[in-house]
Structure 1
């Protein structure tokens, strides 16, 4: 859902020499934490909350993403080629 925005915003926060490493590390950690555990978490949530659990999970992760997005620094007036 946020692929295009993250591919632009995240590299802008890093120096050029570290952009590829930084983006790949962030992607790998996110894929491991959320992609690797989602099946188990959703199964557990369905047992507790019923069939609406996947919706709760999507809402919770969306709220976390929005908070992280608003905490990102503005790069509009910065030289992103540093």
Structure 2
């Protein structure tokens, strides 16, 4: 099982950071067909072979995902897309 673990600092107010994370999730949904939903300050996302979350903190966020065997073949493009969108939004 492959994993993605990204920590990203930010200086946005929490409501604005939450909105930016929602945009990240929409891009992941469009590109990789993930389902997502909020649980407190954590956005959970999933699809067959992918299970992860984005934890929003006051000055940082943490992306963690577990990729199954088939999804692991797409680890690099998934991780690159997450990093690209985080740079764009934060």
The alignment's TM-score, normalised by the length of structure 1, stands at 0.38
Name the larger-Rg structure. Answer: 1
The alignment's TM-score, normalised by the length of structure 2, stands at 0.36
